[in-house]
Structure 1
Amino acid sequence: MISENPELAGLHKDRPIRVGVADEHKVVREALRHLLLAHEDMLFVGEASTGFEALRLVDDTAMDVLILELAMPGQSGLDVLASLRARAPSLYLLVFSGYPEDRYARKAFKAGAHGFVSKACDPVELMAALRRIAAGNRYVSAPLALQLAREIGDRDVHPDQRLSKREFQVLLALAAGKKASAIGRQLNISAKTVTLYRARLLRKLGLKTNTDLTLFAFERNLLSDD
């Protein structure tokens, strides 16, 4: 199973994970700053209170992960997500929101988020999500994975058991958030071939997007939580 993106393995071993925070409420930003400062492997690098400030913060500050609330004054948090993905493709985005996870997590993932954590979560879960995302993986909470499992429905024969070895390898890599070019190098095939495998996987599993592949893999415990 894949627990870490090899291209990013060791990236944070010699320095803390640089984290920015974008949230309308100062009390939340301060709480997150103190939480991050309490962990030696985390470094708080800046904050923003609006979508516009979040975009400027990312432009002006080197960071690995941005914690972002969807409820932002002015520009929608989902629009901010899409803008950040376009202008900072190497930045990892963790949504930390008071919005209902069952209603907004899918939208956030489709807009470019790498993880979604409810503000009702335990701080331990938030730190785990940050570390997982900073390692090049995606984060889906257990309740959301369970909900999606119910939506997908149980089958007598799990679809992943009908995949070829190469299809299964591509499934795991895509679910871990890797790009086609990186998967191609790992498996010694072209990026175009990876794209063909992706289309075949979506068709076989009855899914539509890479986010669906990630959630499918989480539901079946195909990705390690380490």
Structure 2
Amino acid sequence: MIRVLLVDDHQLIRTGTKRILDDAVGIEVIAEATSGEEAIDFVRKNEVDVVIMDVDMPGIGGLEATTKISSIQPGTKVIILTVHTDDPFPSRLLNAGASGYITKNCASDEIIASVKTVFSGKKHISPDIAQSLALSMLDGDETPFSKLSQREMQVMMMITQGYSIQETSEKLHLSPKTVSTYRYRLYEKLKVENDVALTHLAIRYGVVDTNMRDQENL
């Protein structure tokens, strides 16, 4: 039996995904989490074969959570289930240790297939994402965010979600001074002057899910 942990801050997504997997032979959803922090904590204490992870969540988010889970439990496979199809997210998350990358509009059969594929030790990437990655490599197409390091991406995601310097430092276990340094380095690399301009740039390139931001502001 493949033991699966679902990680998404939207209950509707978790419920729908759980229903799909519960109907599959040989797969069991053993728990659900609403944040990267909850997922990391659960994986530390329990045996999990596959984690299905969202990217945009309050707190450290899917990128940092994938990195940590891959580090503390290398045998646990992570599948990214997200709305983001374009770089820099697919390549960053695969480099962070994800074994699969699928989109939230994929067919139910693909979700089941992705779990079984990564459990067997192989990679599973949705065809549209694989094509996007291949074309990006061929064309040399890069977004402004492609030049960021993984830690810079993590800090950028926290800033665009509205977290303060202090909150970001606590979530990422960095000093406030270090977070401030990363913040100004982001401004420099992306040629923006403040957090608002940074957020607008992230939205323009699809790095930030505007639906998630709207829901957080309700």
TM range (shorter): 0.5 to 0.7
Counterpart of 1:92, as a letter, is K
1:72 and 1:151 mapped to 2: Cα distance? Answer: 26
Aligned to 1:127: 112
Aligned to 1:94: 79
Aligned to 1:139: 124
Q: CA deviation at 1:104?
A: 1.4
* Contact kept? 2:35, 2:61, Cα under 8 Å: no
* Contact kept? 1:101, 1:118, Cα under 8 Å: no
Of 108, 128, 151, 2:93 maps to: 108
Taking the TM superposition and a 5 Å limit, the aligned residue runs for 1:21-170 are: 21-153=6-138
Q: For structure 2, which runs of at least 5 residues remain unmatched after alignment?
A: 140-218
Taking the TM superposition and a 5 Å limit, the aligned residue runs for 1:4-23 are: 16-23=1-8
Q: Which has the higher helix share?
A: 2
Counterpart of 1:43, as a letter, is E
Counterpart of 2:123, as a letter, is R
- Provide, for residues 38-90 of structure 1, a one-character-per-residue CA deviation record: whole Å limited to 9, x for no partner: 11211111110011111111122212100000111111311111111111111
1:91 and 1:84 mapped to 2: Cα distance? Answer: 7
2:138 and 2:83 mapped to 1: Cα distance? Answer: 28
2:65 and 2:134 mapped to 1: Cα distance? Answer: 29
1:45 and 1:51 mapped to 2: Cα distance? Answer: 17
- Between stretches 124-133 and 93-102, larger displacement belongs to 93-102
User: Which SS does the other structure have where 1:100 is aligned?
Assistant: coil
Q: Please, what TM-score do these two structures have when normalized by structure 1?
A: 0.58
1:110 and 1:116 mapped to 2: Cα distance? Answer: 12
Q: Please, what TM-score do these two structures have when normalized by structure 2?
A: 0.60
Q: For structure 1, which runs of at least 5 residues remain unmatched after alignment?
A: 1-15, 155-226
Q: CA deviation at 1:106?
A: 0.8
Quote the RMSD (CA, aligned, Å): 1.7
Counterpart of 1:28, as a letter, is I
1:151 and 1:101 mapped to 2: Cα distance? Answer: 9
Q: Percent identity?
A: 27
Where relative contact order (Cα < 8 A, 6+ residues apart) is larger, the structure is: 1
User: Which SS does the other structure have where 2:78 is aligned?
Assistant: strand
1:75 and 1:152 mapped to 2: Cα distance? Answer: 28
* Contact kept? 2:81, 2:103, Cα under 8 Å: yes
User: Which SS does the other structure have where 1:121 is aligned?
Assistant: coil
* Contact kept? 2:91, 2:133, Cα under 8 Å: no
* Contact kept? 1:45, 1:61, Cα under 8 Å: no
- Provide, for residues 157-201 of structure 1, a one-character-per-residue CA deviation record: whole Å limited to 9, x for no partner: xxxxxxxxxxxxxxxxxxxxxxxxxxxxxxxxxxxxxxxxxxxxx
1:33 and 1:148 mapped to 2: Cα distance? Answer: 28
1:149 and 1:115 mapped to 2: Cα distance? Answer: 16
